Structure 1
Amino acid sequence: MRILLTALIFVGGLFYLVTGLGFLVDPVNSGTTFGLKAAGPDGLSTMRADMTAFFVIGAVCMLFGAWRRNGDVLLVPAGLFGIALLGRIVSVAADGTEPGFWLPMAVEAVTVIVLLVASRVLPHPAT
């Protein structure tokens, strides 16, 4: 079970790392994938900074937590993706849906579930 969780977290962490670096290198194309369009240099810098930070920090914590088998570190990306999922749920209730709205929600939900389970299964550092 631990090996499976570690492998899932590594794959997810690499996916999110590539996504975050995509926003750093090419925010226009990466933003289009997420339904975002920058309104000029300020918008591009916001996408480049905020989206890169969100995905890269989440990914680094996932990769580090899985590598070190540290369940505590996995709570950081679980919180990040959990809040993102909450935001999507609120958006569905407030704004309605579009075709394919469920896919990012499913990815975030699976990520949160795997990270929370792993945070309990993987060892915690001695205090």
Structure 2
Amino acid sequence: MHFILVVLLALGALLNLFLGVSFFLDPATTGADFGLRSPDAQGLSSMRADFTAFFLVAALCEGWAAWKRRADILWPALALFVIAFTGRLVNLIVVGDYELWYGPMTVEALHIVVMVLAIKTFPGGRPIPADPA
């Protein structure tokens, strides 16, 4: 089970690394693949900064957790993907669906499932108890 989780985390890390670098180097093209249109420098700047940060932090957490087989490293990436999935779910409910809406949600849900399984399986998955003093 550990080996399978390590492989899945590493694959997720590679995907996120690719997306993060792609947003950093060419936010307009990568953003268009995400359905984003950026008409000005401010939009490109936001895409380059925010999307790069999201994906590179997720890649770092997943890759490091896979390498060290440590669950505690996954919490930041898990939070990113839970929030992203929740945002998409709210949008689906409030605005409605769009062509291929299930693709990004499936990828996010898979990241969440793999990370939760790794947190439950790898050492260090439980939060550190509060200091009793």
Provide Cα deviations, 1:32-68, integer angstroms capped at 9, x if missing partner: 0101111300000000000000000011010001101
Q: Larger Cα Rg: Structure 1 or Structure 2?
A: 2
Tell me which residue corresponds to 1:83: 83
- Pairing of 1:21-32 with structure 2 (within 5 A): 21-32=21-32
Stretches (4+) displaced over 2 A: none
Tell me which residue corresponds to 2:6: 6
TM-score of the pair, normalised by structure 2:
0.92
Contact 1:14/1:59, CA 8 A, preserved across alignment: yes
- Pairing of 1:98-113 with structure 2 (within 5 A): 98-113=98-113
Secondary structure of the structure 2 residue equivalent to 1:83: helix
The share of aligned pairs that are identical, in percent, is 38
1: CA distance between counterparts of 2:75 and 2:118? Answer: 9
Amino acid in structure 2 at the alignment position of 1:92: L
TM-score of the pair, normalised by structure 1:
0.96
Tell me the number of residue pairs that the alignment of Structure 1 and Structure 2 aligns: 126
Tell me which residue corresponds to 1:17: 17
1: CA distance between counterparts of 2:110 and 2:50? Answer: 23
2: CA distance between counterparts of 1:9 and 1:3? Answer: 10
Amino acid in structure 1 at the alignment position of 2:33: T
Secondary structure of the structure 1 residue equivalent to 2:72: coil
Measured after TM superposition, the shift of residue 13 of structure 1 is 0.5
Provide Cα deviations, 1:3-57, integer angstroms capped at 9, x if missing partner: 0000000011001110010000000110001011113000000000000000000
Structure 2: which 5+ runs fail to align? 129-133
